[in-house]
Every structure is written in C-alpha cells, then in structure tokens.
Amino acid sequence: MSARPRPGADPIATQLVKGALRSAQLEMETLLARTAMSAFIREKKDFFVALFGPAGEMVVGTSIPIFGGMIEPVLEHYPRAEMQPGDLYWYNDCYASKGAVSHSPDQVFIAPVFAEGQLSGFALSWAHFNDIGGLRPGSLSPDATDIFQEGIIVPPIRLVRAGETNQDALRVFVRNSRFPHMVTGDIRAATAAVRLGERRLGEMFARFGRASVLEAFAALIAETRGVVARRMRDTVPPGRYAFAEAVDSDGQGHGPFAIRMALEVGNRAVLDASASDDQAPGPINFIMHPDVPKLVLGIYFLSDEPSALLNHGALAALDEVKTRPGSLLAPRFPAPLGQRGMTLMRTSAACLGLLAVATGGKAVASGNVYVIYYLRGIADAAGTRFLLTDGIAVGYGARAFADGIDAVYLVANENYPAEFMDLSYPVRLLRYAINPDSGGPGRWRGGCGVIREIEVLAEEAMLSIRIDGVTNPPWGVGGGLNGRGGRCTVNPDRPDRREVAPVSDGTVVRRGDVVRIETGGGGGFGHPFEREPARVLADVLGGFVSVESARADYGVALTKDGSAIDAAATAALRRTRTPAALFHRKVYRERME
Amino acid sequence: MPSPDPSRSAAVAIDVGGTFTDVTLLDRNSGRVWNAKTPSTPDDPSRAFMDGIDQALALAGIGPEALGHVFHGTTVATNLILEGKGAEAALLTTAGFRHVLEIGRHDIPRKANMYSWIKPKRPVPPERIHEIAGRLDADGKEIQPLDEAAVRAAARAIAKQGIRAIAICFLHSYANPAHERRARELVRAELPDALVSISAEVLPVFREYERSMATILNVYVMPAVSTYVARLSDRLKARGVPGPLLLMKSNGGVASAATARREPVQTALSGPAAGAMGAAHIGALSGHRNLISIDIGGTSADICLIQDGQPGATVEGRVGEWPLTLPMVDIVTIGAGGGSIARVTEAGALTVGPHSAGAVPGPACYGRGGIEPTVTDANLLLGRLTPKLLDGRLTLDREASKRAVADKIAKPLGLDPAAAARGMLSIIDNNMVGAIRVVSVERGHDPRDFALLPFGGAGPLHATALARLLGVRTIVVPAAPGVLSALGLLVSNLKSEFARTYLQRPPDYDRAGMEAVYTDLERAAREWLAEEAVPESGRAIARMAALRYVHQGFELTVPWSGVEGTIEAFHRLHERLYTFAQPDTPVEIVTLRVTATGSLPRPAPLELPKAGPIDAARIDRQKVDFDGQPIETPVYDRNRLGAGARIKGPAILVQLDTTTLVYPGQEGEVDRHGCLVLRETA
C-alpha cells in the first residue's frame, strides 16, 4: 500500500476539512439554483461554485473541464495586500482573464476570505447570464464577428469594497441587458452564494485554526495530485502521440477547423496544440486555458476515485501546454468566442483521442457536442420580448465497460420540462424523444441523442442554432463506429419543409411553424458484432436502434414481428464481419491526423 | 373512529425492520407500555407482524378484542423501489413523450464523474410506455381531443403482455385531469382487474418527469403493498382484532389500509417518518419542542429538524435514484452507523462509510466473521461500549476490534490504534454533523437553538459528542430509544395533503379563482376525512401556498393568510433560507395546498417511580478514552434509574437496546416520563 501521510498534515483533520468543503460547496450550489431568476441558471443550472486557498489554488470545484486560473485575473489588478474583508470582485473578460472564462455571458464573482487577520482563501461563483447585451437577444450568435457583439465586457473590477457596493457599476451592467430584472435577480443569487461560501470558509478557519486548514488544503491537493499522476504514469507509456479532431463549421461558411494535438511523454509530459488551424472568422474560437486539457485528463483519471476532490491537484497529468497565437485555440483579440462550446468539447475529444492512441484503444470514445438553440421574438400583443435559450441533450461516448450515456447535456445542467416550456414561452413542445440509431454502434453502444420538436406560437421569431458533429461525427474506438445524426428542420412533415444549417442564425419562423431538432449520438466502443444480441433486441424494443440498423450494423436479425432474435440468421450475418481499425469516423482508420 | 368503548382502550404499533420486528402495545388509559421483539420474516412479513402482536398481547395479559387501533410503519414500498423489484408496470403518456423517463432531466449529477457515470435503469422501460394523442395547454384547455381508440389499443397490448399495473400521466393534467380520468375509464373497461393510477391524483403539480415518476412508482409498488396490506387486514380480522389498521405515510400522518392501497407510494418513507413523529412526541413530553432528532442504526443515520413540535416537511424528496416530489417529512439520511466500515484509500485518505458490515458479518467484535474495522469496533476499543450488549446476550471481542483497527487503519496511517479509532469516530461524527447542518443551518436554523434527541441503537452513544461539535447544550435521551418509531406510530394522527398547481402572476391575482381552488381542495379533504371516519371534532383543515419571485424556478411553501399576508410571509422565509429577500420584485403564487388532519386520542404518558439512591444503579466501572484522556468511568443500569435520578459525567448508561455515553462536563436528570435530559455544565 502506497498510502503514506503527508508530513505535517493530520490525516483526520484533513478528512474533516474535506467534508466541510464538500458541504459548503453543496450549500452554495443549492442557494444559487433556488434563488436565480433566468431559466438558464435555475432550470438548466449552468453555474458552478468553487473554493480556493490563499494563493488562488482551487481546493474544491466541479468535475467539468472548462475553466482554469479563475482567481489570477483579480490578483493581477488588485494586489493581495490591498484586499479587505467584505470585498467582492467581478469579471467576464475572456481575453484579460486569458481564458479563465471563455465566453462573455459567464460572470465570475469572487470574495476573498480572511482568517486571523490574513488573506486565507477565496470563494467563487460562476454563472451563465442569459443576456448581457450584444448583437442579438441572448448575446451569443453564430453571426458575431467580434467579441464586442457578444455583450458588455467586465474587466476584473471591485464591485464591493469592504461591504460597500458600487451601485454605479451595477447600473451600467444592468442597463446593457435586454432583460434587466432577470440579470438583477441573477446577480443577487450569484453574489449571495459567494457570500455564503465566504462565511463557510471563515467558519472552517475559526473551527480548525488557519494553519491546520491550510495544511489540510495542501494535503487534499496532494491526494488528488497523487491519484492523477499515478494513473497518468500507469496509462500513458513514454512516447509521442498525435491526434487530430475537427470542428464542423464557424457558422459563417468556413470549416472544418482542425484541432491538432501532439503529446510527448518522457521526463515531462508536454501537450502541443500549436499545429491547430488558424482562428476562425466566426465565433467558434476558444481561448484554451492550459488547465483545460489538464482537467480533461485529470477528471478522466479521477473517474474511479470518488473520494478525491476535484481541485488544483487534478492538473498534474501535464507539465506544459503549448498553443500558437492566432490559432483556433489561442485567438487574437477581438475575435468572437460565443460558440466556443463546440471547440471546447472537441478539445476534450482530442485529449481522450490521445489516450486512445497511447493505450491502443483502451479509452472512451468521443461524445457529441451539446446542442443549444435560441428563439427570440415578441411574445404577445403587449409587445413583451421573449428569449428562449434551450439546451438539448446529446449522446456521450461508449466506454470499455458500459454504453455511452444516452440523452445528457453536461454535468449538472438540466433540461426545460415540456410543461415549463408551454407555461413560460410562446411555444409548444410537441415531441421529446430518443433519436434512434444516433448512438455509434459498438460492443458498447454510443449514447443516443434526442429529437426535440417545438411548434411556434409567437407571431414571428428568429432562430439561432448550434449543432456540431454533423460532417465530422464523434469517432468510435476499438472497432466501434462513429455516432450519427444532427439536423435542424423547419416543418419537417409539410410541403414547405426547409433544412436549417447546423450552425446558423437569422432563420425566421412564424406562428404554426414546427422546428425539429435531432441531436447526435456518441461513438461506439468495440466491434458491434460482439454486442450480445439480447442487448441489441432491447435497444430495438426501446427505440434506441432500428430493425434495419440492428441488421446492418450489429449483424442481428429479428423475427418478422421484431419481438425476438432470429438466431440462425444472426449467426449467418455475423460470419460476414469486416476487419476493424483503432478509430472509426465514416470509415475505419488507424490514425486520426 | 376514536373509540368510546373502553374495552378497546389498547393500541398496538408494529415496526418491521430488516432483522427484527418491534411491537409496542399501549394501554391508553394507564399509559402502560409493553414491548415485544421477534425476528422478521422477509418472505411474508405478516407472520412476524402477527407473532409480535400475539407476544405483546400475552405480555399485557389482554385479548385481541381490546385493540382499538393497529398502527404500522412499513418498508415494503421503500425496499421495492430501492431494490428495483416492483411490479412490471406500463405507462400511458402524451404522444411524442415515450422517452420521458429515459431522458429525465438530461443531466449528469453534479457530483458524478462523466466518464464513469452510468444512467440508472428506469423502473419502466420504453417498450412499456404507450403514446396517446390528445393535448391540453398549460391552462388545461383542450387543444386536441383524447385519442380514445389509442387508449383502448394500448390497454389491449398491455393486457396481452400480462401487465396489470398501469400509470397514466398526460401533459398539463395538473390543470385539468379530464383526459387522464377518461383514459382510466377506458383502460378499466378493457382491463377490469388492472391497478390504475393517474398523475392528477398522485401528484397534480407541474414538471412531467417528476410527476410521471411519482405515478409510476405508485403502481410499481401497488401490487405488493396492496397484497401485503390486504393480508395484514385479513389476519387481524381472523384474529378477532376489532380496531382498524392504520399505515404511516411519508408525511408523518397515518391513513387507512384503503388509502395506503390506493396511494402506496405515500408510504415510501413510512419508517423514518414514524421515528420523527416519535421524537417530536417525546421531546414535547420533556418540554422540548425544538429538536434535532437523529436515529443512528447499523448502516444509516436519519436526521430530522423538529420545530415547535412539528417535524419539517418537504416536497423535494428522493428515494434512491428517483425524485419523489410528494409531501414528506424532511429527513436527511446518510450512510453512517455502528456498522459503517473504515478504510484507507489508495490515495491515503481515511474514509468511514457508507459501506456497512450490516448484521452479518457485522463488526469485527461480534465474532461472526467480520474483519473490517467498524464504528462499533472503534467505540469498543476506546471503552465507550461495555463488553456485553443486549442484557448480556451478545459478548463483544475487544481484541478483535483492536486487530481490525490496527491492521487496516492504524498501520497504513502511522498512528497508534487508539488514535486511529478516535480518528474514525471524528470522521463519522463529522459526517453526521454535516447532515445535521443540512436540516438546520441550510434551512436557516441555528442548531444551538435546538435540543438533540438521539435514538436507535447507536444514537445515544454518539449524541453527546455530536452535541459538543454543534454547540448544542441539551440532549434528550428517550426512555426506550430502540422503540421510538413504534411510539411515533402510537401517537400519530391521520393526515393527507391536497394540492393543485394554479399559477397566479402579479399584479392580477385571481382571488376568486384561488378561493374556488381552495374550496375544491377542502371538499376533497373533507371527503377524505369522512372516508377515514374522523368525527367532526377531530378534524382540522389548513391552507398553504407555494410561492416564488417572478422568474424563479423553485417555490417556498408558507401558510395561507390571504394574498398580501402570504406574500409577506414568503419574503421573510426567503430571507431566512437564502440570506436575502427581494421586496422590489413581484411574487408568483404557484401551487395551492390543503392539509387535512384527523386527531386520534393521545395516550397518557408513562409516569416513572421516584428514584432511589444512585449507587444502587451502578453496576461496573471501566476506562474510557475521552479524546485521548483515559478516565475511570462508572457504568449504570438505566432501568434502575427512577424519576429525578441525577447523573454526572463521565458515565456510561446501559439498557437493553442502547448505550448512552456522558462526557465529563455533562450532567443530567431523569424526568418523570423517563427521559434523560443531559446538559453542558460549563
């Protein structure tokens, strides 16, 4: 057993601090969800909270690889020595924060925490606000050509000085939103959560003493670091590995864009993404903070270690991350960033692809990129503006031990129930179903995406949509096939049917129009002919796989009524198995480059 | 229902646990109580149920004809849900929503790791979910008529599969149940023997996934609960018991067998709710109406905050993986108990629980083959437990505890065994403190304003340390901590809630419309009270409402006192719970609720004889490790302590089913009803 206590840290006290950190985090999350006003935060739950040590090192956060270096932007503008109890800092400035946030709607609020007269930690909340001005309602549009069209930019500022709020700054911000009441409510919720975290951290210092808590922080980070470093060593042998991933389109007629990664593991582990394509004219640019690829690997390596916290120690998989200024992953100011979610998810897939290369396929297949659409217009005769920002689930990649997850968006994010949609917006949700055959066939099937169909009840509205993974579907691994699907159609079953480009804005829809969005699935794992016929049958009965796909992709024939397996025909089909390769995207391929 | 016939003055409560079935018989006139314990019979729990009643009747020396009421807390529904062993059920859903369960809320849980998380299997697979055309809008107005032919076809398909448990949940049925009711008629016409539940009756509140799940879980547990309850009723009748069978619901009230058979999912938290009711009762008897109760058993701890004699309530509960958004007692359960196993992880972290050694093999000291160190082992090693439990029926092996703690914990961490054991207790106690904070601090209450009331086998052993961690100054240890759930059953009232989503947006609150909804709900409440045969004098009906700020997504429930008063109360509650109120922001009224209560006669409390000299109760002394300080500590027999007996810490009190540890600096007195009330002296 390699367990050895860290010198100086009391193992019992460390566990007590860990429990206190976890419950403080949970309490902050609950407060934020319960009190926020925009549906984006309260129903969809697009927010996170975290607690930090005095150097800005995270001690507990959420297992989601989209952030990094969150405290540093504040420390750059406000020296530690000048901070006071009761201060509260705020920013959403992607470029100034070097990618700590990567699109402007994400508002970061931070409070310093003092103990025994010294700066001892920070509490943070981070929430996606539904409208902060910009080109179109919702602030984000595939049509954006620079970041100024994506809403007001808040550089790191001190919103509250020793308990005294700068009301002027708040008024400027709120005046820039098309939905000032919601923004006001969301600021109250987000800052109350930070204040709660500040209080809980303060109580922790008071209870255990500053020195013990700081020792415990270090021990908790070391615990996480130990797991990640060991798994990285055990998983990735020394060598050089390369993987290329692609983003379909920038929504303005350009693409695909390649994300090219090389991982060199020797004495140090260095990830080099500089060979990625140049930045895009459209808003898919992603300021990749070096912590992002580190966190992808860190979270992956922590996946069967639930007792370790997600914290600064999770960054241990890589020693260095290189990007090239002017590229898709290091765009130059003021390139637009609003749809960076696509590039971010593809960056994750590329990191996992490197692991697949390094391990000969013993990794997770690629998941799809969560889909989002905006519908904006006038709701009623009184001229009330509405903005529907609806996130839609996709399928995740299959694993060596299980199918990919069906119909999920992202950690913690929830959907809008049909009854909530009907109650709150001038639309009617007509259909919400699993998208059959979207999961990549495999020994383990990729998760399926969904079909979401709405009828427009407003006189007129403008639709913006973002679906990736259509021309470059999520790859399968170890013989598994790629995920499928991804489409947006207006009036699919009528003569005036029209296709909507997967990444686009400006589509005008009118009362009675039906918008159908079909999202894609994740890649499969292992050869589909190795999947037990009973699982294939269950998938057919449940609406995940069609009879045709069962036959063509899985080599499983069903009886005429589709209710049972035709064993003889299945055996015959499965004798015709074609040779596989490590990856599959449209065709089997040994390398993704 | 309260019986004027003095010959039916006895009531009996049966709490069926995993290992033992506890039966408490009460003579309402004298307050006397007899307890019986019999091994549970999981293959047919009604056997142990009747055996226990017979034993208790024999102890009391009375016949079955004396039983005016039979109260029961059941885990049948809970276990079916947790173990995924309910009936094969089918669901009728609105066309287009066949995957309503599969998709759920489309989230990966916040605490989960996206690379290892597996979506839990739904209680009803999509092939048993049938889509029915017909649509209402959010106000309940029909947009498309119900496709009756499709309902009949679905019923026939369900019949062919041999399924008899059917849930019906259509969009917006909370606003208008007409389609669901008509579909039920059609299904019953095709399938007269089917068990059918409609969501408008189970949970008429918006959000279709949660409402569908509640309705499905209702039919999922219905066949087994129904059979079980029917069998109990038959056996009681055959035995000549005249009183009705009443079952504890998750909301802390009891209901008749007929109600429980119609809404069995209401019993999902039956057991823990009974415990909370018992704690509230005992607390009030000892003069403490503000309490935090903690029931610590072998594998888990159930915690509940009781304010002004009432256990907290919630409509955001979960059972296992599933949301169950019905009104229930607000109980937080964590995997922490006497059997919780301590481990050192690969990364060098010491964890305690949630895995438990259970009853078999049990803690290492039980000598039943357990080798993992448990919380009980740590307690024994530190001298906090006596070497004999259950009146000497169980002898504990202290050396085995020491070996387990030394090998599995102390060595890997480089500690001595006593320090390792103290560490284990610190961690489990802190886990429990965390859970106590959830029901107190996170709900806007300061735990120091409450007394702690421990029960269950391990409650009184940990409570004195928990109180110190929380800054709680008073601990109330009931006379019989092992049978508090049975006592909770005996003191319960009939209770049911009626709710409807009726969204009212400012400034035009439809006061007349709301009054009409309340009138409707109150009519339903009165009908229910009549069905339960509650006399007029014992009936109480109260109005509540769930409100939120415009644009918020979660509601807070407050007593109804007219529009303005209710809104004012909402602002105050929001401030208490969430640190701020927003009087500048308009408030929506979302759901109207009515609570119906039918009072049952209260038992006379037990009166304990006066205490004799304390030395007569002292039976032993042993060394106890109090936070690293070994102190010679007297051991008392709790049964020999009369009213007014004073105990000064350090002390150990033993009784049949629990051990109470009193720290130095704590003192207590036994009150006239047998509660030991401990206080910090410093």
Partner residue facing A422 (CB), from B138, B438, B441: B138
Residue of B114, B504, B579, B580 to mutate, interface with A, max A Cβ within 10 Å: B114
Report residue A132: phi and psi, to 5°. Answer: -125, 35
Instruction: Extract the residue ranges of chain A whose pLDDT is less than 50.
Output: 1-7
Q: Which of residues 534-593 of B touch A (CB under 8 A)?
A: 549-554, 574, 577-580, 582, 585
Buried b (16+ CB within 10 A) or exposed e, B588-601: bbbbbbbbbbbbbb
Q: Is B285 contained in some domain?
A: no
Pair (B658, B573) in one structural domain:
no
Pair (B122, B90) in one structural domain:
yes
Identify whether the C-beta of residue A449 lies closer than 8 Å to the C-beta of residue A518: yes
Q: Kindly indicate the confidence band of residue B195, based on its pLDDT and cuts at 50, 70 and 90.
A: very high
Within 8 A of A227 by CB-CB distance, chain B residues are 346-347
Identify whether the C-beta of residue B306 lies closer than 8 Å to the C-beta of residue B290: yes
Q: What is the pLDDT of residue A546?
A: 97
Query: B140 vs chain A: nearest CA distance in angstroms?
Result: 11
**Which residues, at least 6 apart from B234, have a Cβ–Cβ distance to it below 8 Å?**
none
Interface touch A433/B96, C-beta < 8 Å: yes
Q: Which residue has the tokens 């919720």?
A: A189
Within 8 A of A299 by CB-CB distance, chain B residues are 113-115
Does residue B7 surpass a pLDDT of 80?
Answer: no
Pair (B130, B194) in one structural domain:
yes
Q: Is B123 contained in some domain?
A: yes
Does residue B4 surpass a pLDDT of 60?
Answer: no
Q: Tell me, yes or no, if B37 comes closer than 8 A to chain A by beta carbon.
A: no
Q: Kindly indicate the confidence band of residue B31, based on its pLDDT and cuts at 50, 70 and 90.
A: confident
Q: Tell me, yes or no, if B390 comes closer than 8 A to chain A by beta carbon.
A: no
* Last residue within a domain, chosen from B196, B225, B254: B225
Pair (B164, B257) in one structural domain:
no
Pair (B102, B221) in one structural domain:
yes
Q: What is the pLDDT of residue B29?
A: 76
Higher pLDDT, B446 or A364: A364
Partner residue facing B345 (CB), from A23, A36, A307: A307
Q: Which residue has the tokens 């050694």?
A: B357
Q: What is the pLDDT of residue A383?
A: 87
Query: A331 vs chain B: nearest CA distance in angstroms?
Result: 28
* Last residue within a domain, chosen from B225, B257, B279: B225
Pair (B118, B245) in one structural domain:
no
Pair (B645, B509) in one structural domain:
no
Report residue B674: phi and psi, to 5°. Answer: 95, 0
Q: Is B303 contained in some domain?
A: no
Does residue B599 surpass a pLDDT of 50?
Answer: yes
Partner residue facing B107 (CB), from A14, A412, A417: A412
Interface touch B137/A420, C-beta < 8 Å: no
Pair (B28, B108) in one structural domain:
no
CB count within 10 Å of CB B54 equals: 15
**Which residues, at least 6 apart from A340, have a Cβ–Cβ distance to it below 8 Å?**
A102, A103, A283, A284, A285, A286, A287
CATH number at residue B22: 3.30.420.40
Pair (B198, B254) in one structural domain:
no
Q: Is B376 contained in some domain?
A: no
Helix (H) or strand (E) holding B490: helix B484-490
CATH number at residue B95: 3.40.1360
* Last residue within a domain, chosen from B267, B283, B317: B267
Cα angle B503, B507, B513; round to 5: 45
Q: What is the pLDDT of residue B347?
A: 75
Angle between the N-to-C axes of helices A340-359 and A210-235, in degrees from 0 to 180, rounded to the nearest 10: 60
Q: What is the pLDDT of residue B503?
A: 87
Does residue B404 surpass a pLDDT of 70?
Answer: yes
Q: Kindly indicate the confidence band of residue B555, based on its pLDDT and cuts at 50, 70 and 90.
A: confident
Of B347, B467, B407, B335, residue with least CA distance to A14: B347
**Boundaries of domain holding B652:** 614-680
CATH number at residue B594: 3.30.1490
Of A389, A398, A350, residue with least CA distance to A370: A389
Flag the least confident range among A3-17, B137-151, B429-443: A3-17
Q: Tell me, yes or no, if A228 comes closer than 8 A to chain B by beta carbon.
A: no
Give this complex's ipTM: 0.91
Q: What is the pLDDT of residue B357?
A: 86
In this predicted model, what pLDDT tens digit does every residue of B292-343 receive, in sequence order? 999 998 888 999 999 999 999 888 888 888 999 888 999 998 889 999 999 9
Partner residue facing B578 (CB), from A2, A182, A192: A192
In this predicted model, what pLDDT tens digit does every residue of B472-509 receive, in sequence order? 999 999 998 988 988 899 989 988 889 888 889 888 89
Enter the pTM of the model: 0.88
Pair (B152, B235) in one structural domain:
no
Q: What is the pLDDT of residue A44?
A: 66
Mean pLDDT of chain B: 91
Q: Is B469 contained in some domain?
A: no
Within 8 A of B409 by CB-CB distance, chain A residues are none
Q: Is B325 contained in some domain?
A: no
Q: Tell me, yes or no, if A302 comes closer than 8 A to chain B by beta carbon.
A: yes
Give the span between the Cα atoms of B340 and B300, in whole angstroms. 8
Q: Searching chain A, which residue's CA lies closest to the CA of residue B419?
A: A12
Pair (B202, B248) in one structural domain:
no
Q: Searching chain A, which residue's CA lies closest to the CA of residue B435?
A: A23
Pair (B25, B145) in one structural domain:
no
Q: What spatial distance separates the first Cα and last Cα of chain A, rounded to whole Å? A: 41
In this predicted model, what pLDDT tens digit does every residue of B349-369 receive, in sequence order? 889 988 888 777 889 999 888
Within 8 A of B172 by CB-CB distance, chain A residues are 419, 422
* Chain A with chain B: Cβ pairs closer than 8 A: 242
Interface touch A423/B138, C-beta < 8 Å: yes
Interface touch B580/A23, C-beta < 8 Å: no
Partner residue facing B580 (CB), from A12, A64, A188: A188
Q: In chain B, how many domains are there?
A: 4
Q: Tell me, yes or no, if B438 comes closer than 8 A to chain A by beta carbon.
A: yes
